[in-house]
């Protein structure tokens, strides 16, 4: 049976003013729906998390008149507030609202207000993801699908796990600044990129993992002026943001942002769990971050050298960012589900940001790439919640993580290796057939 819409409805649907109004209303409705969903989840999900243990007490110190003492907060004497000061700026607003109404001690209302304050950053992050995909594809997604695409990013399971189960509300803010900074760098706005990445570093210290490959890509292309601008502005913003805290409380700042990690034990879901009870355990406890930074540097320099002829504005940038951020959950001595969020976002942008025709293998790759990492995070979350780190469960998580990392490496680097190191015109007939087969699927 065929249903025919009335003529007025069809006419209205093609009216430019109606379409423009729908384009304006869609983001507003999406924001309203996100605020309602976030507020409800914040209110309904109970139990103390990192928000209650570190971030909210630090914001209360700032609101009480001690803004430079936010790093004096400790949980169980060794766990500090390990994020930059910018991550607490929106939370200060939440504390002010809660204090005005006398709700500071109400856990459910505390989570509700903090969720509402940080909810817009998730929408901004989703919008930045959409802009990155559109830039890579070289086309604007149809207006009817933009709100749906933004909602798809905003409703990522990893974002909700990161925010509501573990209380890391600052991660969407940091990733929004990182993606905006990467997009600015790709478009030639180096100073803006430096400022945004500096602000991201003031939000979350793991931003350093993103900065290393970006600098390596610039240096490999001998963009010396851009490299100096990016690093100079970024360092200036970071130092200006940290300087007041360093002058007021240098011991707590250095411990919280630099040295505390050496005091933490080897823990959940990590490759280093195999070292527990062995002579290698002290090495894993004190030097895991040094190994992570070394691996990131080696991978970044190798990829930048191999892609010397590639454009910084190509998909390679997001592919490399996905790979280097995957080093943290792979080699960290204690792994938490929100460690996988950065990699998942970069992989999703890389997978969907292609101009090529959407063949079934490509669609499968685009769907499975973030799905693998989400499964890794969920399994890791199960370990954390159940408070078990048995070898069997840990090995399962590591196996999935390694499959995701190795799979992304092969699928992404494979085409670059074929394109740059193998010349199809001089290859054997069997090699030419293999190259054509690979290119069709990538």
Backbone dihedral region of 6: left (phi > 0), alpha (psi from -120 to 50 degrees) or beta? beta
65 in any annotated domain: no
pLDDT for 294: 92
Q: How far is CA 75 from CA 49, 57, 81, in A?
A: 11, 10, 9
Residue 352: is its pLDDT beyond 70?
Answer: yes
Question: Parallel, antiparallel, or unpaired for β 79-80 and 74-75?
Answer: antiparallel
Phi, psi of 75 (to 5 degrees): -120, 125
Contact criterion met (CB below 8 Å) for 162 and 337? yes
When mean pLDDT is compared over 64-73, 274-283, 314-323, 392-401, the highest value belongs to 64-73
Contacts (Cβ under 8 Å, ≥6 apart) of 142: none
pLDDT for 1: 47
Band of the pLDDT at 434, cuts 50, 70, 90?
Answer: very low
d(CA 325, CA 136): 20
Band of the pLDDT at 17, cuts 50, 70, 90?
Answer: low
- pLDDT tens by residue, 382-417: 766 665 545 445 555 555 565 556 555 555 554 554
45 in any annotated domain: no
306 vs 217, more confident? 217
Report, as an integer, the average pLDDT of 192-216: 93
Alpha helices in 138-207 (DSSP H): 143-154, 157-160, 170-186, 190-203
Residue 245: how many other CB atoms lie within 10 Å: 20
> How many domains does one find in the chain?
1
254 in any annotated domain: no
Band of the pLDDT at 423, cuts 50, 70, 90?
Answer: very low
d(CA 414, CA 261): 36
- pLDDT tens by residue, 80-124: 888 889 999 999 999 999 999 988 888 889 999 999 999 889 989
d(CA 5, CA 11): 10
Contact criterion met (CB below 8 Å) for 162 and 50? no
**At 268, which helix (H) or strand (E)?**
none
Which residue in the block uniquely carries the two structure tokens 């191999």?
306
221 in any annotated domain: no
313 in any annotated domain: yes
Coil, helix or strand at residue 313? coil
328 in any annotated domain: yes
182 in any annotated domain: no
- Token pair, residue 49, equals 């998390």
391 vs 322, more confident? 322
- Token pair, residue 6, equals 């009335």
- Token pair, residue 119, equals 């909810």
d(CA 224, CA 218): 7
Report, as an integer, the average pLDDT of 329-349: 86
- Residue in 373, 267, 283, 361 with CA at minimum distance from that of residue 325: 373
d(CA 202, CA 224): 25
167 in any annotated domain: no
Q: What is the mean pLDDT of the chain?
A: 79
| Threshold 0.75, pTM exceeds | yes
pLDDT for 229: 93
């Amino acid at each position: 049976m065929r249903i025919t819409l009335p003529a007025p409805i069809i006419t209205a649907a093609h009216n430019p003013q109606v379409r423009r109004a729908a384009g304006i209303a869609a983001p507003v409705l999406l924001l309203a729906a996100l605020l309602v969903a976030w507020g409800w989840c914040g209110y309904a999900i109970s139990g103390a998390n990192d928000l209650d243990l570190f971030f909210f007490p630090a914001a209360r110190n700032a609101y009480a008149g001690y803004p430079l003492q936010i790093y004096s907060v400790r949980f169980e004497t060794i766990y500090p507030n390990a994020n930059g000061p910018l991550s607490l700026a929106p939370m200060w607003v939440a504390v002010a609202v809660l204090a005005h109404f006398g709700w500071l001690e109400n856990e459910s209302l505390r989570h509700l207000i903090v969720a509402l304050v940080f909810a817009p950053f998730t929408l901004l992050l989703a919008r930045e993801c959409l802009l990155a995909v559109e830039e890579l594809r070289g086309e604007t997604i149809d207006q009817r699908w933009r709100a749906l695409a933004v909602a798809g990013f905003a409703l990522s399971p990893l974002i909700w796990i990161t925010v509501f189960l573990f209380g890391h509300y600052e991660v969407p803010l940091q990733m929004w600044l990182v993606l905006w900074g990467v997009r600015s760098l790709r478009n030639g706005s180096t100073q803006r990129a430096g400022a945004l990445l500096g602000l991201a570093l003031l939000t979350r210290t793991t931003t350093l993992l993103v900065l290393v490959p970006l600098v390596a890509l610039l240096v490999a292309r001998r963009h010396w002026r851009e490299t100096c601008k990016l690093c100079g502005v970024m360092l200036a913003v970071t130092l200006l943001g940290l300087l007041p805290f360093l002058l007021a409380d240098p011991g707590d700042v250095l411990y919280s942002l630099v040295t505390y990690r050496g005091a933490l034990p080897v823990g959940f879901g990590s490759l280093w769990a195999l070292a527990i009870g062995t002579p290698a355990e002290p090495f894993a406890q004190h030097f895991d971050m040094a190994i992570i930074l070394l691996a990131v540097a080696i991978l970044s320099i190798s990829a930048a050298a191999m892609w010397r002829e590639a454009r910084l504005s190509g998909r390679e940038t997001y592919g490399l960012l996905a790979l280097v951020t995957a080093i943290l959950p792979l080699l960290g001595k204690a792994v938490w589900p929100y460690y996988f969020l950065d990699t998942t976002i970069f992989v999703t942008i890389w997978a969907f940001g292609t101009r090529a025709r959407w063949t079934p293998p490509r669609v499968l790759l685009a769907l499975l790439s973030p799905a693998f990492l989400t499964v890794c995070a969920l399994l890791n979350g199960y370990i954390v919640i159940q408070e078990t780190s048995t070898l069997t469960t840990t090995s399962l998580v590591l196996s999935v993580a390694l499959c995701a990392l190795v799979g992304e490496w092969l699928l992404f680097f494979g085409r670059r290796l074929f394109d740059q190191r193998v010349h199809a015109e001089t290859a054997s007939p069997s090699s030419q057939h293999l190259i054509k087969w690979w290119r069709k699927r990538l």
